[in-house]
């Protein structure tokens, strides 16, 4: 069974009425949002994918279709299942499109003020029973939930990138999150064929609490001249058997996201070991955010990509 022991409901929970999640909304049609819409639609649920930018919605639908084509080519999905899944996805630039959703998953930028702005606009359009989940990778679920009109129906549902490929999802309860919401979201994650890790509501949860400080330390090693970009990544790939070196992985995640997570850790835990490396800050200030901008610790305008330092 793909759920950890923390996620199993206690005996008393069996009498609770668990809300059914039949229709899902996703706010944000970027990399994470389109991946979440992808897996929900393949699992048989109607999905409303919303973004304020029409061009982003067009790119998202194209990306979803392309990624499903790859699944068809591998034999993981039939052509009929792909067509049916795509037909379940509705796109909109209006928050009012979420009126009939049972759960809305926010997949906005990893900045607290952006997420709070989304909730302020979103909540008036939701039915009272609708739950809200944030795909945040680091920000306090308790604090985000408190900014809504339904903190008891607010929860963290952190998917890994790329969503259709990565099996793990972290579920994080805020202090006000009620048990029916937790059980409903847990059931959804299992329906999506994900493996669950339940995390307490501490900065960066499980995966990023461990992963991003490692990336930050790799940036410090580069900053201090311990080794080159290639030396650091080759060392960790061959010496620690990682599929990607930490600097290559940082480019894949997005250096702005890595910096945001380190700032959440540093501010939330008040420990100097989480201080963001000044070189990481400089790369973000330069707009060198990794693969999505064509340049980060590697220059992706060249084939193969070459280190920028």
Tell me the domains of the chain and their CATH numbers: 5-199 (3.40.50.720), 207-307 (1.10.1040.10)
C-alpha–C-alpha distance, residues 301 and 288, integer Å = 12
Is 66 noted as a catalytic residue in this protein? no
pLDDT given for residue 120 in this prediction = 97
Mean pLDDT of 232-260: 96
Q: How is residue 25 written in tokens?
A: 């909304």
Mean pLDDT of 181-198: 97
Whether 190 shows a pLDDT value over 70: the answer reads yes
Whether 226 shows a pLDDT value over 50: the answer reads yes
pLDDT given for residue 127 in this prediction = 97
**Marked catalytic residue, from 135, 138, 140, 158:** 158
pLDDT given for residue 5 in this prediction = 39
pLDDT given for residue 1 in this prediction = 36
Burial category of 39 from C-beta neighbours within 10 Å (exposed 0-12, middle 13-18, buried 19 and up): buried
Is 137 noted as a catalytic residue in this protein? yes
Band the pLDDT of 6: cuts 50, 70, 90. Answer: very low
Mean pLDDT of 18-26: 96
> Mind listing the pLDDT tens digit for each residue in 73-115?
999 999 999 999 999 999 999 999 999 999 999 999 889 999 9
The overall average pLDDT reported for the chain is: 94
CA nearest neighbour of 252 among 166, 134, 153: 166
Q: What share of the chain is helix, strand, coil (3-state, %, to 5)?
A: 50, 15, 35
Mean pLDDT of 266-272: 94
* pTM of the full structure: 0.87
**Marked catalytic residue, from 208, 216, 248, 260:** 208
Band the pLDDT of 284: cuts 50, 70, 90. Answer: very high
Mean pLDDT of 251-278: 95
pLDDT given for residue 14 in this prediction = 54
Mean pLDDT of 240-265: 96
pLDDT given for residue 59 in this prediction = 96
pLDDT given for residue 62 in this prediction = 97
Is 125 noted as a catalytic residue in this protein? no
Strands 195-199 and 24-27: unpaired
Is the dihedral angle over the CA atoms 187, 191, 195, 199 positive or is it negative? Answer: negative
Helix 246-253, helix 255-269: angle, nearest 10: 100
Q: What is the C-alpha end-to-end distance of the chain, expressed in Å? A: 45
Portion of the chain with pLDDT greater than 70, in percent: 95
Is the dihedral angle over the CA atoms 264, 268, 272, 274 positive or is it negative? Answer: negative
> Mind listing the pLDDT tens digit for each residue in 196-219?
999 999 999 999 999 999 999 999
**Marked catalytic residue, from 170, 216, 248, 260:** 170
Band the pLDDT of 16: cuts 50, 70, 90. Answer: confident
- In degrees to the nearest 10, what's the CA dihedral of 253, 240, 299, 261? 30
CA nearest neighbour of 24 among 3, 47, 41, 6: 47
Q: How is residue 277 written in tokens?
A: 């490396």
Reported as half-sphere exposure (CB side, CA atoms, 13 A), residue 165 has a value of: 9
Is 208 noted as a catalytic residue in this protein? yes
Q: How far is CA 28 from the centre of its chain?
A: 11
pLDDT given for residue 10 in this prediction = 44
- 94: number of Cβ within 10 Å: 11
Whether 195 shows a pLDDT value over 90: the answer reads yes
Q: How is residue 21 written in tokens?
A: 């999640």
Band the pLDDT of 175: cuts 50, 70, 90. Answer: very high
**Marked catalytic residue, from 67, 137, 140, 260:** 137
């Amino acid at each position: 069974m793909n759920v950890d022991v923390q996620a199993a409901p206690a005996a008393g929970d069996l009498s609770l009425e668990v809300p059914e999640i039949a229709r899902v909304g996703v706010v944000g049609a970027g990399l994470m949002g389109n991946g979440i819409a992808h897996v929900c639609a393949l699992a048989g649920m109607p999905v409303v994918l919303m973004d304020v930018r029409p061009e982003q919605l067009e790119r998202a639908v194209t990306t979803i279709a392309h990624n499903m084509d790859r699944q068809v080519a591998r034999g993981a999905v039939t052509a009929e299942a792909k067509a049916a899944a795509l037909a379940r996805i509705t796109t909109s630039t209006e928050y009012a499109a979420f009126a009939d959703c049972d759960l809305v998953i926010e997949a906005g930028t990893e900045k607290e003020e952006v997420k709070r702005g989304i909730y302020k606009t979103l909540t008036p359009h939701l039915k009272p029973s609708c739950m809200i989940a944030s795909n945040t990778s680091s920000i306090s679920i308790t604090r985000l939930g408190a900014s809504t009109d339904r903190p008891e129906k607010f929860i963290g549902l952190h998917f890994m990138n790329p969503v259709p490929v990565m099996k793990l999802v972290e579920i994080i309860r805020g202090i006000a999150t009620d048990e029916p919401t937790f059980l409903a979201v847990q059931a959804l994650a299992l329906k999506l064929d994900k493996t669950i890790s339940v995390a307490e509501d501490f900065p960066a949860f499980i995966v990023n609490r461990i992963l991003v400080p490692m990336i930050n330390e790799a940036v410090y090693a580069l900053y201090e001249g311990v080794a080159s970009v290639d030396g650091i990544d080759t060392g960790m790939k061959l010496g620690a058997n990682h599929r990607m070196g930490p600097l290559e992985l940082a480019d894949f995640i997005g250096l702005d996201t890595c910096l945001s997570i380190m700032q959440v850790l540093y501010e939330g835990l008040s420990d100097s070991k989480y201080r963001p490396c000044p070189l990481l800050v400089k790369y973000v200030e330069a707009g060198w955010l990794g693969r999505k901008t064509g340049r980060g610790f590697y220059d992706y305008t060249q084939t193969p990509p070459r280190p920028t330092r």
